[in-house]
Chains A and B, each alone.
Chain A
Amino acid sequence: MTKQITLTVNGNVYTLEAVPGEMLAMLLRERLRLTGTKIGCGEAECGACTVIVDGEPVLSCIYPAERADGKTLLTIEGLSAPSASLDTLHPLQQAFLLYGAVQCGFCIPGQIMTAYALLQHNPDPTRDQIRAALKDTLCRCGGYPSIENAILAAAEALRTGRPVQPPALPASSRAGQVVGRFHLRPDGVEKVTGHAKYTDDLVFEGMLHAKVKRAMVPHAFLRRLDISRAKALPGVAAVLTAEDLPGEKTHGLVTYDWPILVGVGERIRYVGDAIAIVAAETPEIAAQACDRIEAEFDLQPVITDPVQARRPDAPQLHPNGNLLKHIKVRKGDVDQGFAEADVILEHVFHTQMTDHAFLEPECSIAVPLPNGRMEIYCGTQIPYQDRLQAARALGWPEERVRIVGQLMGGGFGGKEDIAGQIHAALLAHATGRPVKLLFDRRESLLVHPKRHPTQIRVKMGAKRDGRLVACETELYGDTGAYASLGEKVMTRATTHSAGPYEIPHVRSDCYAMYTNNPPAGAFRGFGVTQAAFAIESAMDMMAERLGIDPIEFRRINALRVGSVTNTGQVLRESVGLLECIDRVIQAMCQVSGLPRRELFKPRPVPEAPHLVRAWGFAAAYKNTGLGGGAPDKASADVELYEDGMLQVRSSSAEMGQGLVTVMRLIVAEELAVPPERVSVLVMDTDLAPNGGPTTASRQTFVTGNASRYAARALREAITATLAEKYDVWPEHLRFENGMVYVNDHALGLGEVAREMKAMGKLPRVRYEYEAPKTHPLGAGGDMHFAFSFAAQAAEVEVNTRTGEVRVLRVIAANDVGAVINPLGLQGQVEGGIMMGLGNALTEEFIVENGQVITDRLARYRVPGILLTPEIISIVVEHPVEAGPHGAKGIGEVSSIPTTPAIANAIYNAVGVRVDRLPIDQEEIVRRLKERAALSEQTLES
């Protein structure tokens, strides 16, 4: 007799068969198709799966479904009617939208449900109570301040019955009718109602489930592989090995060095290497089949760090050895520079490996079509690259593959490489059935490329008056088992390693080395995060040696219009660094009430003198766009429909950062329509042209421009059509509020579309935008077409007894050129700071002898709401001539100065110079004790 369970979900009563081993989240998602409840970790760490059971929030990923028998549940789908619009949403849902708390959206159902339960118990919560309730509900986009403000606003609306009060957010100083003003995300409503579909939320008729057999040894030759027992398991549809590869054997973004499957006799280079792939009727059978695959290895010595990798006696991991690239920056004569210096300082810094920990684990679904094509549904930062790489692996022309990009639960650089796209496609091809390959959190942590751990030696020479005369840096970057974007990332680390300063003599050398660690690739900041920690720490150390205020020292040397960078680029415009620095100083004095000379002095808390506070400061810059001579293009289509709606399309990636809002606002501005009239379609290689990779903070600039020029061309086409038809001068046409005025006659845009069609003209324009030309490193001239600049100050409190560090406040000024989307900018700033704070204080992806220790979210700690400081954001707008409305990138520069600002603040508070990340409280205590012991000795002698 099968056991039945009965549960009430969102007011509906369900009686279902009990399934052994089933968790509530799976029941809701798979059996009731309530996919608003997300699974981010499956290990009770992230809170994305929060639902309300009998009035209390619980984590459904670790809640046996049978325990819910007889209980009443509320999920995100139950908060408002399925067809709700902004006005009819629950106040929490409205407030999350209005306050910009929604970015990638993956954590949002969990956040809203947790907040809902809080407000049921406590209708008027304090900020501290909100933080306590949301303690373990993670948001990797880092929008905690917005989440907190949204909950306060919703609580007020619920208490008073009044509408949710929107935030007071200043418009851009350069705002147009639409651009630069407060507008909501086009994908926001579906994200707060739980109706938004991410890849794992999709099902296809006859869909199989895939699992990958991974080597789990860091360095070996595969001696033997036996898949017979796996194949024999009932329910298994296919087991593929390297022998079955129909096309190319490797993938990669720049270098094709990453085996799709490692074959017998071939080299395994890290634990995540795939040796076989399985498709089966259920995920459980697929996993069981993987367990039945037998593999034997000839283990090899493991290369664990880049310095070891460069030794002549190290085993060589790739045909060209262990050196991926030696990157050089040369300016002036660094020996002469050091000879001229009054003070020379040299120090070595180490940064750790970190993981993006986007809350949505990778998922790919490959669907073979009757016409012989293959569709791949996935979240990806580079759809056209996925298409190319999947096609190569299948041995097909590119056009035979279609990438259908889905909403992404975060990317941060971690979804640029191939994850499961190729494996799913191979299995779909072999079986003729749709195949889903979903990574669990562990596989996600094991497999995808990380941030490069980097050793950075900085040698710096300055004159007594504070002028920097020479800087030499040497970097060892650990690119792990495969190249990924290692060469590009480490190039950026190298070119930025002397900081945003004009220094006459610079020499930088970087060795990007292969090791047996997980591959390292793109991660928000793209190498500059590492470089900035080293150089900005060294700047403070040098300022102290010189006896100059650390900010003044930076002001003296700061890049400004007319400066020549270390790669020989003359900065002709848009260098807002000095303004960023000055605005942060002002704000620091204002919020702390301290005079400028006191800012960096330690301040013991009067009632608890073992707690010492101080401010710390750091500056940063980051290129916008690919640069280095790479053609930097994006294409966009803008189309007008007969219902008067517009659509803008580009296969650029929306991963939460808000590109879709930027595209919508830019097109609405050009055609003078309300933004709601513009829909946005991204990440579909059949329906939208190539927007290039979503990386290097480039999309607002390049796809923003492509959208703008496409919209402008459409406007010109409309103008030409109407001028001809109505026989008026084009100048006499007026676009206003969704209408076109011809003399005194007003036409709706739908009518215009019909008229154009009637005249045989297509109301659709494609524009390929190419950013200003750049030159390769070493060639001089413009290596990048724009740079964003930033300054941040962090106030910390160090517990001198325990070494614990709290970040109390962060002030950030970002020169973004011009603001297109103020609400999106706010999210990028908050999230950037939180990621920088995690990099400083909590995050370390630990690999020991090639084995991953932090293979669960429980062990890899991303910052939660309790660690969130007060964030004060200052927007600086020094426009770039070629940027859309003057805009340049923000996604990365917002994150880069946070870590060194915190490290410098710790030094200012307690005199401990941190040169290794993450900052370790035990190390702080050890250093304080050493110093105390030393001063005692001195006193005694």
Chain B
Amino acid sequence: MTPLWDTYLRPKTLAEALQAMLTAPKPLAPLAGGTDLLLDLQQGRHPPVRTLLDVTSVAEMTRLERRGDQLYIGAAVPVARLTRDPLVVAHARALTEACALIAGPQVRNVATLGGNVAHALPAADGTIALLALGAEAEVASLEGSRWVPLRELFLGPGRSALHPERELLVGFSLPLLEGNDASCFRRVMRPQGVALPILNCAVWLVRRGDEVDDIRIAIGPADAVPFRATQAEECLRGQPLTDTTVQQATQALLEQARFRTSPRRASADYRRHLVIFLFHDTLRIAWERATSPPS
């Protein structure tokens, strides 16, 4: 058993961090909260590294602020802060709710949204919320920085499109609410067996009277990557929210989603059954929230 790392770096700026990625001994892994990565390293699920690049002190990655009509959330902001920050509560309720369900309070004080997304699991709570909220991600390398839609970061279960030794996930940008839009996040746990959440769902929508003006629905795990129920969204966009349209959307969702059986967690059948209630509940709450403009 060799040490989990030889070199531990704590850069203060993005430039320093990117420079360190070039020069530090490889293999290297960026470390945010570390609650997944360190355990993966300890338990042999992640190949050994020589350098851990602790990004939790990088100024650009720990900002949480309004930027024009966008809300910027640094990738290294602890999720505990996202559960109580007034800007996030007002504009990204689904994210607040998701973050409040990630692990326990002690873990949330170090865990970050960047880590949640970079881990690329198809049902990570924070990821599913961001997906519904229409987040874009800022990715930086020595060549420069670019903004990409969140879903482009995922290649498969646990496989991120980020290059672990050259690219850093810097932050996320979400559109601020405009008045008639709202969001909600819900999930179902199964305490037996291996004790993991078995299904989660986030909905963002814009309401115009009795009509759904726009909507995004994210569900995990419903595919190899975090899943957007785009066909269900189509069924509802521009439509009144009625039993019939919800029924059609549900049907579309069930047809598009690819639920799998996870041994000792949940069968595909159980997930197909649960998603109906979970989707309806989440949709209804988001809809009700959208009735009154945000204070």
Contacts and interface: CB of A to CB of B under 8 A. Distances in A.
A920 B191 CA distance: 9
B270 interface: yes
B264 A929 contact: no
Given A802-B188, A922-B266, A136 B105 contact: yes
Contacts of A58: 106, 109-110
A37 to B, nearest CB: 13
A134 B32 CA distance: 23
Interface string B243-280: 00000000000000000000010110110011001000
Nearest to B104: A136
B255 to A, nearest CB: 20
Given A21-B4, A858-B195, A922-B267, A62 B104 contact: no
Interface in B130-176: none
Contacts of B231: none
Given A20-B8, A62-B38, A56 B193 contact: no
B270 A922 contact: yes
Contact of B192 (A63, A66, A918): A918
A19 B7 CA distance: 10
A918 B78 CA distance: 35
A47 interface: yes
A147 to B, nearest CB: 15
Given A58-B110, A804-B188, A846-B264, A47 B104 contact: yes
Given A21-B3, A925-B270, A137 B195 contact: no
A67 B109 CA distance: 13
A67 B54 contact: yes
A59 B192 contact: no
Which of A43, A59, A137, A844 neighbours the largest number of chain B CB atoms within 10 Å of its CB? A59
B109 A57 contact: yes
B277 to A, nearest CB: 4
Interface residues of A, number: 55
Interface stretch (A148-156, A284-292, A483-491, A824-832): A284-292
Contacts of B195: 842, 858-861
B273 A925 contact: yes
Given A44-B35, A66-B10, A853 B264 contact: yes
A59 B106 contact: yes
Which of A44, A64, A920 neighbours the largest number of chain B CB atoms within 10 Å of its CB? A44
Interface in B1-16: 1-8, 10
The number of chain B residues touching the other chain, given as a range, is 35 or more
A291 B39 contact: no
A44 B107 contact: yes
A571 B34 CA distance: 60
B80 interface: yes
A69 interface: yes
A308 interface: no
Contacts of B7: 20
Contact of A62 (B39, B78, B274): B39
Contact of A846 (B8, B10, B189, B193): B193
B3 A20 contact: yes
Given A63-B110, A802-B188, A114 B105 contact: yes
A922 B109 contact: no
A190 B264 CA distance: 42
Given A62-B38, A844-B193, A114 B106 contact: yes
Interface string A34-67: 0000000011100100100000111100111011
B277 A802 contact: yes
B48 to A, nearest CB: 11
Nearest to A291: B1
A212 B54 CA distance: 34
Nearest to B265: A922
A858 B39 CA distance: 11
B6 A43 contact: no
Contacts of A43: 39, 42-43
Contacts of A135: 104-105
A132 interface: yes
A20 B25 CA distance: 14
Contacts of A67: 8, 10, 54, 56
B201 to A, nearest CB: 13
Interface string A814-842: 00000000000000000000000000011
B38 A64 contact: yes
A8 to B, nearest CB: 17
A571 B112 CA distance: 62
Which of A3, A137, A922, A929 neighbours the largest number of chain B CB atoms within 10 Å of its CB? A922
B284 interface: no
A867 interface: yes
Contacts of A863: 191
A569 interface: no
B191 A842 contact: yes
Interface string B42-85: 11000000001010100000000000000000000010100000
Given A44-B35, A804-B188, A922-B266, A18 B105 contact: no
A291 B44 CA distance: 13
A919 B6 contact: no
A859 B104 contact: no
B194 A929 contact: no
A159 interface: no
A42 B35 CA distance: 11
B190 interface: yes
Contacts of B109: 56-58
A686 to B, nearest CB: 36
B191 to A, nearest CB: 4
A64 B31 CA distance: 10
Given A135-B104, A802-B274, A841 B5 contact: no
A867 B192 CA distance: 13
Interface string A900-939: 0000000000000000001111100110010000000000
A921 B190 CA distance: 7
A781 B103 CA distance: 55
A856 B8 CA distance: 27
A62 B105 contact: no
A842 B38 contact: no
A43 B10 CA distance: 23
Nearest to A42: B42
A430 interface: no
A287 B5 CA distance: 17
Given A62-B35, A925-B270, A841 B192 contact: yes
B47 to A, nearest CB: 15
A829 B129 CA distance: 41
A64 B264 contact: no
A909 B157 CA distance: 39
Contacts of A63: 34, 110
B264 A57 contact: no
A58 B110 CA distance: 7
A21 B43 CA distance: 14
Nearest to B38: A62
Nearest to A60: B106
A918 B195 CA distance: 12
B8 A47 contact: no
A636 to B, nearest CB: 42
B178 to A, nearest CB: 31
Contacts of A543: none
B11 to A, nearest CB: 13
Contacts of B3: 19-22, 284
A746 interface: no
B192 A132 contact: no
Given A58-B106, A856-B43, 5 more contacts: A20-B4, A57-B109, A861-B191, A863-B191, A918-B193
For the complex of A and B, list the 7 residue pairs with the smallest distance between their C-beta atoms, beginning with the closest: A136-B104, A21-B3, A861-B195, A287-B1, A20-B3, A66-B8, A21-B4
26 contacts: A20-B3, A20-B4, A21-B5, A22-B3, A43-B42, A44-B35, A44-B107, A47-B106, A50-B106, A57-B106, A59-B35, A59-B106, A59-B107, A63-B110, A64-B52, A66-B54, A135-B104, A136-B104, A136-B106, A136-B107, A284-B1, A287-B1, A853-B194, A859-B193, A920-B192, A921-B190
